[in-house]
Copies of this chain bind each other. A is one copy, B any other.
Amino acid sequence: MNSEKHSKAIDLSHHFSEVAKTRKPSPLKELSKYFGRKDLISLGGGLPHPAYFPLSGLSVDALVPDSFALAPAEHSSSLSWLWKLLGANTSPKEKTASVYIPKYSTDTNDINLAAALQYGAAVGQPQLQNFLRQFVSQVYQPAFEDFTTLIHTGNTDGWCRAFGSFCNPGEGVLMEEWNYPSAMAAMLPSNIRPVTVAMDGQGMRSDALEKVLSEWDEEVRQMPRPHVLYIVPVGQNPCGTTMKSARKEQIYDVCVKYDVIIVEDDPYFFMQLGDYEMKSVRSPFTSHSSGRDQAARFVSSLEPSFLRYDYQGRVVRLDTFSKTIAPGSRLGFFTCNPIFAERFERQGETSTQSPCGFGQSIVTKILTNWKYDGYIRWLQGLRTEYAQRRDFFIDCLAEEFDLQAAPAPAGIWEGCLTYQAFSNRRISNTTEKSSPLFSFVPPNAGMFVWLKLNLERHPSFTSEAEGTLEFKLWTLLAEDGVIFAPGWFFPTDDVATSDVGAGHFRISYSNAEYANLKKAVTVFGRVIREFFNEQN
């Protein structure tokens, strides 16, 4: 691994797809050398006058950056916690500070609606660009200096622009065996196909990646060797795995060897939650330092982005504000080399154009008002909140089931400690130990618990019936008012994937009220015991 800081990305423009090569900048931009003049009168563009925007200003009641504690409050039982949090949806006690976005501003450094709501360059508001550049430098620390940030309308848009810029129809993208379904749904209509790589408890395996690439046979595979890799390295969707730095370096080196572009889709980066510990042994969360020191320690505690190892500029990082501000902001950003960024910008110009000016101006105003340290503090608070939600949900499972730790077998959890869930209604004098109902690895990042159902226990189990049984159990749960995401949403393809058909549920602890998380687990317990003919 090459750890020194490089001044420039290498030229990787040979990766561009035929379509990407045809996109031209708008001619008015070509002529923009004249536009630097202060006294220029442009009657060139079809712009409405800002006096006709029907707003004189926007006032945003923004939450303060330290709205959420860095450490969970002491709680004696999950029930007291429950009641405390129960009313959150109806009577929020939010500490806010109001910020105002005027239509006109005499200080051109201030965000103003006259500019933000006008037709804008696809690169977005300059104040946001400035904030993002500082943010990326300090948090992700790319290994090359001429990195570029470019806003997009969320990571799905970002991913569409990435595969659209790199892949011709008929080509393949390297992906983990289990995957975020929208990433595939977006590329399949363009006849861009997934090529699966085996996973373990950290996500994609570097040895499996090397094997796929080194043994590639164009004729057998009926496509050229893939030159694009898509990965969700933190809080993998759906498996919840997180890749550590050594694995990222190994994967990066394989990608250098085989000249592969890495698209790092990383919405859960700041939701690195730490390991789950059983409630009985959980150590109290302590946080003594504060301010800049606190921010730096938090950032350095996170598994780094692929950008940290990217001395060549072959990583396209996708960040989104969907999890850290709100999904409806429809705002995110690329970090990548400037040659890639230029193509992504061209593609934006003829599709989504610039992200919404309302969203851009509000998010920018909040961020610039909070400043870098404030935003990091906000993210730390969010991290603590989601860690509590994760802990609470698994505590509920521990109350509803008899959880027993066991080392994971080979496969997607290799290297992790799994929990096997047994019915806790077993009659005490039964001597025969039954097999578990399901097993899981507590996620150390993201929003999801990925359950593997032990369908072999079911009386009507045959290997053909696996998918059917998963759907049957899913339906029983839905009829009792609980929706999990069924496993059959998530395999990348149905040939090579290990664990396919074993029966899985992806359960999100990120959104429901605590009382409902508890209730859902209770319903799940009753339904799965019935399903497996256990006592209730």
Of B41, B68, B354, B448, the residue contacting A512 (CB under 8 A) is B41
Provide the bound-state CA to CA distance between A113 and B49, in Å.
Answer: 29
Q: What's the nearest-Cβ distance from chain B to residue A213, in Å?
A: 27
Q: How far is the CA of A522 from the CA of B466 in the complex (A)?
A: 79
Whether the Cβ atoms of A511 and B63 lie closer than 8 Å is no
A237 at the interface (CB under 8 A from B): yes
Q: Is A3 an interface residue (CB 8 A)?
A: no
List B contacts of A519 (CB < 8 A).
41
As a 0/1 sequence over residues 129 to 153 of chain A, the CB contacts with chain B under 8 angstroms (1 = contact) are 0000000000000000000000001
| A481 with B39: CB separation less than 8 A | yes
Are A67 and B54 in contact (CB-based, < 8 A)?
yes
Q: Name the CB-closest residue of B to A509.
A: B43
- A481 to B44 alpha-carbon distance, docked (Å): 12
A contact residues, total (Cβ < 8 Å): 120
A483 to B488, CA, bound (A): 57
**Known contacts A355-B356, A483-B34, A517-B43: does B55 contact A61 (CB below 8 Å)?**
yes
Interchain nearest-CB distance for A319 vs B (Å): 15
A113 CA to B326 CA, complexed, in Å? 10
B residues within 8 A CB of A510?
46-49
- Give A507's nearest chain B residue, CB to CB: B43
Check: A222 CB closer than 8 A to any chain B CB. no
With an 8 A cutoff between CB atoms, is A527 at the interface?
no
A523 to B488, CA, bound (A): 68
Q: Which residues of B contact A27 (CB under 8 A)?
A: 181, 486, 488-489
Known contacts A54-B325, A153-B352; 16 additional CB pairs below 8 A are A26-B182, A27-B181, A27-B486, A28-B485, A35-B483, A40-B481, A47-B508, A52-B382, A54-B378, A55-B62, A89-B114, A156-B350, A326-B357, A328-B361, A329-B358, A358-B359
19 A–B contacts, CB within 8 A, in A order:
A43-B483, A43-B484, A43-B520, A44-B484, A44-B485, A44-B508, A46-B448, A47-B510, A47-B511, A49-B511, A54-B62, A59-B59, A154-B352, A157-B351, A185-B350, A326-B357, A330-B352, A356-B356, A358-B362
